Amino acid sequence: MKISDIKPEVYEMAERAMKKIGNEFEKIDAVAMHNTRKVMEAFQDNRVSDACFAGTTGYGYDDLGRETLDKIYAQVFGTEAALVRIGFVNGTHALTCAMFATVKPGDVILSVTGTPYDTLRNAIGIAGDCHGSLKFYGVDYAEVTLKADSSPDYEGIEKAASEKRVAAVMVQRSRGYDDRRALTVDEIGRICDSVKKVNPKAVVMVDNCYGEFTDVIEPSNAGADIIAGSLIKNPGGGIAPTGGYIAGKKELVECAAMRMTTPGIGGECGSTLGNNRLLFQGLFMAPHTVAQAMKTAVFCAAMMDEMGLESSPKYNEKRSDIIQMIRLGSEENMKRFCLGIQSGAPVDSYVTPEPWPMPGYNCPVIMAAGAFIQGSSIELSADGPVREPYIAYMQGGLTFESGKLGIMMAASAMIGE
């Protein structure tokens, strides 16, 4: 499929969809403006200069750019400290380091948003038998499920968090591969209050992936002790080539740094190899780029509504991440949707996505991602486990215009001949 193959009836659907969503775009632009100002102030307050863009090699001592970027992330997220490194291979790596910073052998880590995202299950030790997992080091796991309407079970959280061995409480902001909505920052703040009420010493850690800059506040502004995420998602702005971040209380961030490198070295080493400019520029672009991705998701929701398909959130619902969930009903429909997204990409548009046993997942996963940066979820992509009820998770879009075309390609592919 090519852009020229978009069907006339899809253009008509797109025109109707656009008429529905004008007010939603105004709300998104207001959030982007607020967050852009926040990022700009952090750049200015920390005196970013051309010298910050120089890279280091070897041990990476005295890396001005790395040290300045840590301070900027801490200011943007309202925390005591931050650790921003290209050495994080993905979001799961950053989140795992953050988890290890919160517990010791004999402790319990409590998930209060149900079972975590697939790849984290190996790190915790609730799936597989991986060397070096939390379970391997004697950390136990417990969980509280969300209510049927996807809201937190505050009463259940208080009861579970009051257990004396609970040292850390984990919150997953986004939906992952679950059929539920993302949590709002207000809900996360109430979770923090519930935990601290019964267990003041417990650390509240938030998986912030896909959620950064979708609201005017972050979980760290609402009581979370430590948050973590990936630079090839929201905060990298589609420019950062790799990496992740952790932000929170200084002691916790330092402990996470010791896990990332080695005890006694922590965040003092780590060469940036000429990537500093990309990380700075990516963060500068992030509020705008996230807004483009959110507009793409809103348009997708309106288009799926036109096609009679169930999706979440609805085009006029409040959003707390960049993910759009589409219930496609069959493996064939799922393949067609992903084929359309892939065909609408600037890179590898000629490739046909097929399900495959992706590492860290317990069933075949189909992924459509024609990205400039491999695995970048802030670029238009769609994926999901190929199992009933055949739900695809669409996210990203560096520009709304290209994202809109990608969604129209997906609609054309599902309509068929």
The secondary structure of 320-368 as a DSSP string is: SSS-EEEE--SHHHHHHHHHHHHHTSSSSTT-----B--TT-SS-EEEE
Nearest Cα to 161, choosing from 153, 151, 149? 153
CB 374 within 8 A of CB 238: no
Residues 235, 27, 321, CA angle at the centre, nearest 5°? 40
Whether cis (ω within 30° of 0) applies to the bond prior to 313 is yes
Residue 351 in contact with residue 411, Cβ under 8 Å?
no
Specify the pLDDT at position 192.
98
Per-residue pLDDT of the chain (417 residues; tens, 9 = 90+): 889 899 999 999 999 999 999 899 999 999 999 999 999 999 999 999 999 999 999 999 999 999 999 999 999 999 999 999 999 999 999 999 999 999 999 999 999 999 998 889 999 999 878 899 999 999 999 999 999 999 999 999 999 999 999 999 999 999 988 889 999 999 999 999 999 999 999 999 999 999 999 999 999 999 999 999 999 999 999 999 999 999 999 999 999 999 999 999 999 999 999 999 999 999 999 999 999 999 999 999 999 999 999 999 999 999 999 999 999 999 999 999 999 999 999 999 999 999 988 776 778 999 999 999 999 999 999 999 999 889 999 999 999 999 999 999 999 999 865
Q: Tokens 């998770």, residue?
A: 393
Residue that is written with structure tokens 């679950």 in the block: 178
CB atoms within 10 A of CB 213: 27
Contacts of 27 (CB under 8 A, 6+ apart): none
- What pLDDT does residue 360 have? 65
**Under 8 Å between Cβ of 91 and 229:** yes
In the prediction, which pLDDT does 214 show? Answer: 98
Query: Which residue(s) pair with 312 in the sheet?
Result: 325
The 8-class DSSP code of residue 163 comes to: S
Greatest Cα-to-Cα distance within the chain, rounded to the nearest angstrom: 63
Residue with tokens 């790799």: 242
> What is the identity of the amino acid at 241?
P
- Tracing tokens 């001592």 back to the chain, one arrives at 61
pLDDT at position 1: 82
pLDDT at res. 104:
97
Distances (CA, A) of 63 to 66, 69, 268: 5, 10, 9
What's the pLDDT score for residue 417? 54
CA distances to 146, 207, 209 from 191, rounded to whole Å, are 12, 14, 18
Asked if 339 and 353 count as a contact pair (C-beta separation under 8 A), the reply is yes
Distance CA 267, CA 381 (A): 32
Q: What Rg, from alpha-carbon coordinates, does the chain have?
A: 21
- What's the pLDDT score for residue 176? 82
Closest C-alpha among 24, 398, 403, 401 to residue 238: 398
* Alpha-carbon span 275 to 309, nearest angstrom: 42
- CA separation (Å) from 85 to 88, 91, 138, 191, 207? 6, 11, 28, 29, 17
Q: Which two tokens stand for residue 47?
A: 């005196």
